[in-house]
Amino acid sequence: MYQLLGVIFGSLITALSFNLFLIPNNILSSGIGGVAIIIGILTPFNTGLVNLLLNLPILILDMLSLENDSLVIQLYQFSHFRQRYMLFP
């Protein structure tokens, strides 16, 4: 239970930081998030949608290699972060 609350809180903070600080100021993050921000700056695509599409192959590979408990938490985090990331302007 506490692990899911931590996932919710962490996803909310990360989505807020992307949408309130990084994207409006054209500051790049590292990893897939930074690549999504670059694509979002250079094209008219939504950064949240680009991030979702870039993370799908990684999620699929993780689904093949993780245990069931870890997979449930990761899927929950993945969906919760994407919802918040695309919800905020």
In this predicted model, what pLDDT tens digit does every residue of 6-23 receive, in sequence order? Answer: 877 887 888 888 888 888
Check whether 88 has a pLDDT greater than 70. no
The tokens of 15 are what? 């989505």
Q: Which residues contact 16 (CB under 8 A, 6 or more apart)?
A: 84, 88
The tokens of 55 are what? 């993370």
Mean pLDDT of the 70-88 span: 68
To which residue do tokens 């919710």 refer?
8
Helix axes 32-42, 47-65, angle to 10 degrees: 150
Mean of all residue pLDDT scores within the chain: 79
Query: What is the C-alpha to C-alpha distance for residues 75 and 80, in angstroms, rounded to an integer?
Result: 8
Check whether 72 has a pLDDT greater than 90. no
pLDDT of residue 84: 66
